[in-house]
Amino acid sequence: MTASGSTTAAAAATTTAAAGTAATTATAAAASRAAGGADERYVVGIDFGTLSGRALVVRVSDGAELATAVHEYEHGVLDEALPSGRALPPEWALQVPSDYVNVLKTAVPEAVAAAGIRPEQVVGIGTDFTASTPMPVLADGTPLCELPEYADRPHAYVKLWKHHAAAEQAERINRVAAERGEPWLARYGGFISSEWEFAKGLQLLEEDPELYERMDHWLEAADWIIWQLSGRYVKNACTVGYKAIHQDGRYPSEEFLAALNPAFARFAVDKVEHEIGQLGDRAGGLTAQAAAWTGLPEGIAVAVGNVDAHVTAPAAQSVDPGQMVAIMGTSTCHVMNAETLASVQGMCGVVDGGILKGLYGYEAGQSGVGDIFAWYVANQVPARYTERARELGVSVHELLTDLAKDQPVGGHGLIALDWHSGNRSVLVDHRLSGLVVGATLATRAEEVYRALLEATAFGTRRIVEAFAEGGVPVTEFVAAGGLIRNSFLMQVYSDVLRMPISVIGSEQGPALGSAIHAAVAAGEYPDVRTAGQAMGRVERAKYTPDEKAADAYDALYTEYLRLHDYFGRGGNEVMHRLKRIRREALA
C-alpha cells in the first residue's frame, strides 16, 4: 500500500460516511479505479452494528476503501414492544433477523455500485457483528420469531447484546460456578456476564420452556448471517470462546448445567454445540439466494463470522502479541493477542484463536466512555456553551475540549470515576456509578468535562496495568473507533499511559477488518496477519507522552486508584446501596 493510495482511500471513506444512512457514491472511486484496473479484485466487509449495517468495498491489493453504504434496521432495537405491539418488560432488548438480511439486499449492492466496480470483481464477503447477540432457530436456520405462531412471543426474537433481563440467571451461573470451582471461570475474569449466551439461554428455558423445547439451535446472529450467506451453519471461534464459555475444546459440563436447572443439563450438547470455524476460514460459497440478494457472484468466499471489536485488530495492523487495540466509542473494547494463557484481573475473556488463529486473544472493556461524555454534554453543560458552539460551528464536545485543553494538568482540582455505566474491567461490577470530587464554586463546565476524559484514561491505565500484572504486558497501545478524532483525548491517553498511541488509519475499522477476513477466506492472502499488513492501516506512535504532563498525571492517577479501590473493592459500598435505594424508591 502506497501512502498516496492510503490517502485516496481515506478520502473516499470519509466522504461517503458523512453522507449518512443512504447509499452513497464514492467521489474518489474513479481515481481508485484508475490506480487499479479492470482486473483488480475486491472484497466486501459488512459491519452489523446495533442500529444499522454498513457495507464497505475494499481493494484486495492494498486495502483502499472505495465506497460504503449504510442500511438502518427497520425495527431498530425492540426495547419497549414487539412489532405486534406487545409490551416488553424493562431491561429487554431484542432484534428482528430479517433486518440483517435487508442489509445484504440494500447496502451491499449500493456500495458496490457506488464503488464503480463490476460485481464480478468481488471475490469474497466478510462480516462482523455485535455480540453476544444470540437467537433461537429451527434445524434449517429459520428464526423462531418468523414462525407465525411465535410472532408474539418475546423469547422467539434475537436477544441483542444489551438485553439485560437475564441478570438473575447470570448471578446463579457465577455463584454455582464459583462453588463448584469450575476451571473456566478464571478465563472470564471470574465473571460470566448476563449479556452472554448461557445466561440468556437459561432465561429462555425458564420463562418460555415451550420455545426452548422447540428451538434446535441457539446461536449468535454473527453465525446466523453466515448461514444465510453460505448455506452452512458454522460457529466462529471468537464468539464460542468469549460468549459461549467454550474453553479447551469443551463447553461447561452437564453436571454444572444441571446444577443451574435440571432441565438445562443438555443445553450445550443439544442447543449450542456445532462445528467451529477459525477466523479467516472460508465458511462456504455464496449461495444462489444470497447472490441474488447482494448482486454478487454465486460461490464467492464467505468468511467465518466475527465480532466488531476483534475484527478491527488486523485492520489496525496490530495482531502481534502485546499490541493492544482499543476500539473507543460509546464504550471501549480492548483486544490483544499473547503467546501464553494467563489470568488477567477483570478481563472479559481469553480465547484460543479468539482474535487470530494460533494466539490467545484477550478482551477487556470499559462500559462507559463516549457515552459518559455524551451524557455530560446533554445534562450538565449550560446554554452559554451550547450557544457558543453553535456560533463557532463546532460541536459542544469540541468547544469544551478546546476550553479545557490548555489548562495545566491538575489545574481543575478534580478527580472523577468513570463508572456512570458501571465498570467492566477490572472490577466487573455494573452496580458501580459515577463520582466527581473536588468541585468548588470556581469550577467550570469544561473542567468537569476534562476530568471525565481523564477518568477514562485512568480506567484504561488500570486495565493496561492488569495485563502487566497478569504476565501479558501491553507493548503498544493502538486506538481505533470514533473517539480517535479527539486529538486532545488521544494526547491525554498517551500522557496517562506513558506510552505512544498508535492510531488506526481507517474510520471504518470493523468493516475494513471484515474485508480483510474476506480476502483471507478467498485465498488472496495466506493468513489474517499477512492480509492485515497489506490491507490494514495504522499510524504508529502518532501521539507520544509529554514527560511533564505524564509526571503530573501520575499524581492524579494515584488519587484515582485510591478512590477506585475504596469505592470499587468494598471500602464503601455506597454505590451499591444507592442503586438499591433508588430501585426500591422508584418501585
Half-sphere exposure (Cβ direction) of 283: Cα atoms closer than 13 Å:
33
* Contact assessment for residue 342 and residue 185, using Cβ atoms and an 8 Å cutoff: no
> 149, 378, 391, 570: which one contacts a copy of itself (CB under 8 A)?
378
* Exposed / middle / buried, residue 238 (Cβ in 10 Å: 0-12, 13-18, 19+): buried
* Contact assessment for residue 370 and residue 328, using Cβ atoms and an 8 Å cutoff: yes
Q: Does 303 interact with a copy of itself (rule: CB under 8 A)?
A: no
State how far the alpha carbon of 324 is from the alpha carbons of 103, 334, 357, 365, 523, in Å.
31, 6, 17, 12, 27
Q: Which three three-digit cell numbers place residue 260?
A: 443451574
Helix (H), strand (E) at residue 460? helix 445-469
> 50, 98, 443, 530: which one contacts a copy of itself (CB under 8 A)?
443
- b/e map 514-527, b = 16+ CB within 10 Å: bbbbbbbbbebbee
How near is the Cβ of 140 to a copy of itself at its closest, in Å?
41
Q: Which three three-digit cell numbers place residue 520?
A: 483471507
Neighbouring residues of 513: CB distance < 8 A, sequence distance ≥ 6: 45, 126, 128, 306, 311, 312, 313, 314, 315, 536
Q: Does 448 interact with a copy of itself (rule: CB under 8 A)?
A: yes
> 413, 471, 523, 526: which one contacts a copy of itself (CB under 8 A)?
413
Give the range of 13-21, 55-63, 213-221, 559-567 binding a copy of itself by CB under 8 A.
Answer: 559-567
Q: Does 570 interact with a copy of itself (rule: CB under 8 A)?
A: no
Q: Does 190 interact with a copy of itself (rule: CB under 8 A)?
A: no
Cα separation, 351 vs 527, in Å, equals 19
Q: Does 381 interact with a copy of itself (rule: CB under 8 A)?
A: yes
> 382, 393, 406, 570: which one contacts a copy of itself (CB under 8 A)?
382
> 254, 371, 465, 527: which one contacts a copy of itself (CB under 8 A)?
371
How near is the Cβ of 271 to a copy of itself at its closest, in Å?
34
* Contact assessment for residue 294 and residue 122, using Cβ atoms and an 8 Å cutoff: no
Give the range of 19-27, 55-63, 265-273, 439-447 binding a copy of itself by CB under 8 A.
Answer: 439-447
Cα separation, 165 vs 156, in Å, equals 15
Q: Does 437 interact with a copy of itself (rule: CB under 8 A)?
A: yes
- Specify the residue, 310 or 450, whose C-beta has the smaller distance to a copy of itself: 450
Q: Does 488 interact with a copy of itself (rule: CB under 8 A)?
A: no
Give the range of 7-15, 220-228, 415-423, 523-531 binding a copy of itself by CB under 8 A.
Answer: 415-423
Cα separation, 482 vs 166, in Å, equals 30
> 151, 436, 534, 550: which one contacts a copy of itself (CB under 8 A)?
436
- Specify the residue, 81 or 439, whose C-beta has the smaller distance to a copy of itself: 439
Nearest Cα neighbor of 405 from 505, 498, 495 is 495
Q: What is the DSSP letter of 269?
A: I
Q: Which three three-digit cell numbers place residue 231?
A: 448455506
Give the range of 68-76, 91-99, 300-308, 443-451 binding a copy of itself by CB under 8 A.
Answer: 443-451
Q: Does 332 interact with a copy of itself (rule: CB under 8 A)?
A: no
How near is the Cβ of 375 to a copy of itself at its closest, in Å?
5
- Specify the residue, 310 or 424, whose C-beta has the smaller distance to a copy of itself: 424
Q: Which three three-digit cell numbers place residue 15?
A: 466522504
Q: Does 412 interact with a copy of itself (rule: CB under 8 A)?
A: yes
Neighbouring residues of 101: CB distance < 8 A, sequence distance ≥ 6: 228, 293
Q: Does 409 interact with a copy of itself (rule: CB under 8 A)?
A: yes
Q: Does 526 interact with a copy of itself (rule: CB under 8 A)?
A: no
Q: Does 392 interact with a copy of itself (rule: CB under 8 A)?
A: no
Which residue ranges make up the site for a copy of itself (CB under 8 A)?
368, 371-372, 375, 378-383, 386-387, 407-415, 420-421, 433-441, 443-445, 448, 552, 555-556, 559, 562-563, 566-567, 572, 574-575, 577-579, 581-582, 584-586
